[in-house]
């Protein structure tokens, strides 16, 4: 019996053809522009539609209005298609740019160009699609658009968006204090604390420094002549540590004057001073004796005073004998010999007297210098607030007074609320426009 071999016959799968609306066929047969349709319809199908007769299709009377809507629909889909391609290309180029050195800086520098192009096309394809083309988040776009100087504030920041900044009259008060000749030789921190003491400044010192830089008032500052010193020893109570030092000052007519100062460490209070044409232990002894009799009364329960000096000749002889005769009340300490730290507190007082006062004035002779030092020491002790003493004068700190910070906190909070209320009323022409934009 002969065997039969079965030969498999390939089964042809049925192709699935896309169906098109009659209006599409009619639009193409009437000679409509099929350039935008080639992305969705094969070329052979388009060719077949062109060769067809319009009589083969129905609804001929309603065709014109339908054609118009159809073209707009296809154009919208085509724009979306182009938008997806452009967005992917833009994202690719941006990732390549950011991978380069300083790529982000180049992108930030192109900010004006990018904003101009987005504003040019946002009315045509909506702001949302325009931002996607540049792969730019909406938050950054609005940040860039609002990054324009505001003409209503000295800082250039929009008062509505940053309502905590100072009001105009507060800025004027800072300018008034900085321009006051009475404070021209004061450090900025002392000027700030004077405004706090006068109940004028209701903000912190960092804000004061920032606006002082923006106002830009030139303040005379003598050329720095000494090196900076490290922080030395600090006392916890008045009359715990005293510092004594002698420094030289030369007047305009070339007279060399020796200045003697004794300062309390805790309060920076100048307990006593003298000016002389000679440097000797005798003058230092006279000054120490006056200070001791004035501030250390007999029978007082002050702790043992540590009297810190350097190892100069003016600190020996009679000075040493006086301290030894009162060893139960005062003890001499030589800086950088008996202890490791320096006599920087005394040197700081010398520096303040010279740079804040003496170097700013043309003085002639000893009498002229003594007369001006009387004013300088009085202002230093009783008038000018000290930065390290948190708005107190040296005399107030020596008297163990404390600043009323609770009342100041209330004033600060009230001032902050008032700034917010006033700034919310301002109409900003540069920045309010972007608040109306819609991403749709």
Q: Where are the domains of the chain?
A: 22-146, 151-226+402-440, 241-398
pLDDT at position 63: 47
pLDDT at position 60: 44
pLDDT at position 286: 93
List residues bridging with 275 in a β-sheet. Answer: 259
- Over its C-alpha atoms, the chain yields an Rg (Å, rounded) of 42
CA quadruple 325, 330, 335, 337: dihedral sign: positive
pLDDT at position 73: 54
Q: How far is CA 160 from CA 24, 78, 154, 261, in A?
A: 54, 42, 14, 53
pLDDT at position 103: 63
Tokens 């730290």: give the residue.
341
Residue 405 CB partners (closer than 8 Å, separation 6+): none
Pairing of strands 256-264, 270-276: antiparallel
- Which backbone phi and psi does 172 adopt, to 5 degrees? -65, -35
143 touches 162 (CB < 8 A): no
Closest alpha carbon to 264 in 302, 321, 311: 302
At residue 115, the 3 state secondary structure works out as helix
Cβ burial of 323 (10 Å; 0-12, 13-18, 19+) is: buried
Cβ burial of 126 (10 Å; 0-12, 13-18, 19+) is: middle
| Torsion angle, alpha carbons of 83, 89, 94, 99, to 10 | 160
Q: In what order do the strands lie in the sheet with 270-276?
A: 270-276, 256-264, 241-250, 305-309, 330-334
Domain 241-398 architecture:
2-Layer Sandwich (3.30)
Q: pLDDT of the chain along its 440 residues, tens only?
A: 555 555 555 555 556 666 777 767 777 776 766 565 666 677 788 778 777 766 665 544 544 554 555 555 555 555 566 666 666 666 666 666 666 666 667 667 777 777 777 777 776 667 777 777 777 788 877 777 777 777 777 877 777 777 888 888 888 999 899 988 888 888 888 899 999 888 889 888 889 988 888 888 777 666 655 555 556 678 888 889 999 999 999 999 999 999 999 999 999 999 999 999 999 999 999 999 999 988 887 666 667 889 999 888 888 889 999 988 888 888 898 988 888 888 888 888 999 899 889 998 899 989 999 999 999 999 999 999 988 888 899 999 999 888 888 888 888 888 888 888 887 777 766 655 555 555 55
pLDDT at position 9: 56
- d(CA 273, CA 263) in angstroms, rounded, equals 9
Tokens 């994202």: give the residue.
91
- If one counts every other C-beta atom within 10 angstroms of the C-beta of residue 258, the result is 19
pLDDT at position 109: 72
């Amino acid at each position: 019996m002969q065997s039969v071999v079965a030969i498999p016959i390939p089964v042809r799968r049925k192709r699935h053809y896309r169906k098109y609306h009659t209006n599409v066929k009619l639009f193409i047969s009437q000679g409509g522009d099929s350039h935008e349709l080639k992305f969705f319809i094969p070329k052979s199908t388009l060719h077949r539609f062109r060769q067809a007769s319009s009589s083969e299709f129905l609804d001929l009377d309603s065709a014109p209005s339908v054609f118009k809507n159809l073209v707009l629909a296809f154009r919208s889909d085509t724009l979306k298609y182009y938008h997806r391609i452009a967005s992917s290309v833009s994202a690719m180029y941006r990732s390549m740019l950011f991978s380069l050195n300083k790529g982000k800086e180049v992108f930030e520098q192109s900010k004006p160009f990018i904003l101009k192009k987005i504003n040019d096309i946002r009315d045509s394809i909506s702001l949302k699609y325009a931002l996607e083309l540049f792969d730019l988040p909406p938050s950054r776009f609005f940040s860039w658009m609002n990054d324009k100087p505001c003409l209503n504030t000295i800082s250039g920041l929009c008062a509505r968006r940053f309502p905590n900044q100072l009001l105009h009259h507060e800025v004027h008060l800072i300018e008034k204090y900085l321009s006051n000749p009475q404070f021209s030789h004061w450090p900025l921190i002392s000027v700030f604390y004077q405004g706090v003491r006068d109940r004028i400044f209701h903000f912190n010192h960092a804000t004061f420094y920032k606006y002082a830089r923006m106002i830009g008032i030139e303040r005379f500052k003598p050329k720095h002549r000494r090196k900076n010193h490290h922080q030395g020893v600090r006392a916890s109570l008045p009359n715990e540590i005293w510092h004594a030092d002698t420094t030289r000052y030369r007047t305009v007519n070339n007279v060399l004057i020796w200045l003697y100062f004794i300062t309390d460490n805790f309060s920076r209070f100048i307990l006593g001073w003298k000016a002389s044409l000679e440097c000797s232990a005798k003058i230092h002894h006279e000054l120490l004796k006056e200070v001791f009799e004035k501030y250390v009364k007999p029978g007082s329960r002050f702790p043992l005073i540590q009297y810190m000096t350097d190892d100069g000749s003016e600190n020996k002889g009679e000075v040493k004998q006086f301290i030894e005769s009162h060893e139960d009340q005062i003890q001499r300490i030589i800086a950088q010999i008996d202890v490791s730290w320096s006599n920087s507190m005394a040197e700081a007082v010398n520096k303040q007297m010279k740079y804040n006062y003496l170097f700013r004035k043309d003085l002639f002779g000893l009498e002229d210098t003594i007369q001006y030092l009387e004013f300088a020491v009085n202002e230093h002790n009783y008038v000018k607030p000290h930065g390290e003493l948190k708005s107190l004068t040296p005399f107030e700190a020596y008297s163990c007074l404390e600043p009323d910070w609770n009342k100041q906190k209330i004033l600060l909070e009230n001032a902050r609320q008032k700034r917010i209320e006033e700034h919310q009323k301002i109409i900003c022409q540069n920045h309010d426009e972007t608040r109306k934009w819609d991403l749709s």
